[in-house]
Amino acid sequence: MSADHPGIAELFSLLAAGELAAFYRLTDEAGMAPTVAGRVAIASMAASEMRHFDVLRDELERRGVAVVPAVERYESVLAQYHQSTVPNSWLEALIKAYIGDGLAADFYLEIAHVLPPDAERIVQEVMAETGSSQFAIDEVRAAVTADPLLKSPLTLWARRLLGEAITQAQHVLAAREELAELLFTGDTGNLNRLAEFFESIQGRHDARMRDLGLA
């Protein structure tokens, strides 16, 4: 694949929009934290999102892409996801931070392996999990252990996150030919590849559910 394939700039634009949206979402939800440790963990996650945004902004500018219009193209689809998955509790916020962001990473990392080396490196860098992810795992597992009645509603919440993430991913792929071409290089429109793509994301989601003690 050419290093200047138009889908790469679209991918970086979507990633940048996602990082910016995640930063504001995390800063909003930090107020739900009942402890200083929780606020610090969420603040650390938010800071990581902005560092990743800076990397993507620099790369888009290097490619001659105007960053603000590029980000604005994806605001509506990201807003739809966040508006439909507003957490009602601190535990739901933690699960969204861990599960939701992990699902986003899965989507992009599935694409990364078909990219030229420089572009793949950037995707790998900005999609790396933050150290604060372990805080979310520990908090949720401890809460479910202390009160097993929490497990069922939190499991349903995590499944809802998966469903909404897949719905929005499908919308993006349908709307942006360049991104679909990146994902299905060599076999655009192959429904088997599409099924494999989402099955892989489902498998990693199941692993995160086990991490949280919700499986």
Q: Which two tokens stand for residue 165?
A: 């993430």
Domain that residue 16 falls in: 6-212
Among the ranges given (59-63, 139-143, 197-201, 202-206), the one the predictor scored with the smallest mean pLDDT: 197-201
In a domain, 40, yes or no: yes
What is the per-residue pLDDT for 134?
A: 85
CA geometry: angle at 204 spanning 46 and 131, to 5°?
30
pLDDT, tens digit, 9 for 90 and up, residues 103-128: 877 877 777 777 888 888 898 888 87
What is the per-residue pLDDT for 184?
A: 64
Average pLDDT in the chain: 85
Spatial separation of the C-alpha atoms in residues 159 and 167, rounded to whole Å: 12
Which whole number is the average pLDDT over 162-175? 80
pLDDT, tens digit, 9 for 90 and up, residues 79-112: 888 888 999 999 999 999 888 778 877 877 777 7
In a domain, 193, yes or no: yes
In a domain, 116, yes or no: yes
Which whole number is the average pLDDT over 12-23? 91
Question: Phi then psi for 109, rounded to 5 degrees?
Answer: -70, -25
- At residue 143 the predicted structure's pLDDT band, cuts being 50, 70 and 90, is very high
What is the tally of structural domains in the chain?
A: 1
- At residue 66 the predicted structure's pLDDT band, cuts being 50, 70 and 90, is very high
Spatial separation of the C-alpha atoms in residues 157 and 166, rounded to whole Å: 14
In the predicted model, is pLDDT for residue 1 greater than 80? no
> Is 25 in contact with 45 (CB distance < 8 Å)?
no
In a domain, 184, yes or no: yes
CATH of the domain at 108: 1.20.1260.10
In a domain, 65, yes or no: yes
What is the per-residue pLDDT for 190?
A: 56
In a domain, 69, yes or no: yes
In a domain, 1, yes or no: no
Q: Which two tokens stand for residue 120?
A: 């793949």
196 Cβ neighbours under 8 A, 6+ residues apart: none
What is the per-residue pLDDT for 130?
A: 58
Any idea of the CA torsion for 156, 126, 183, 203, to the nearest 10 degrees? Answer: -30
What is the per-residue pLDDT for 159?
A: 92
CA geometry: angle at 121 spanning 79 and 176, to 5°?
40
What is the per-residue pLDDT for 111?
A: 75
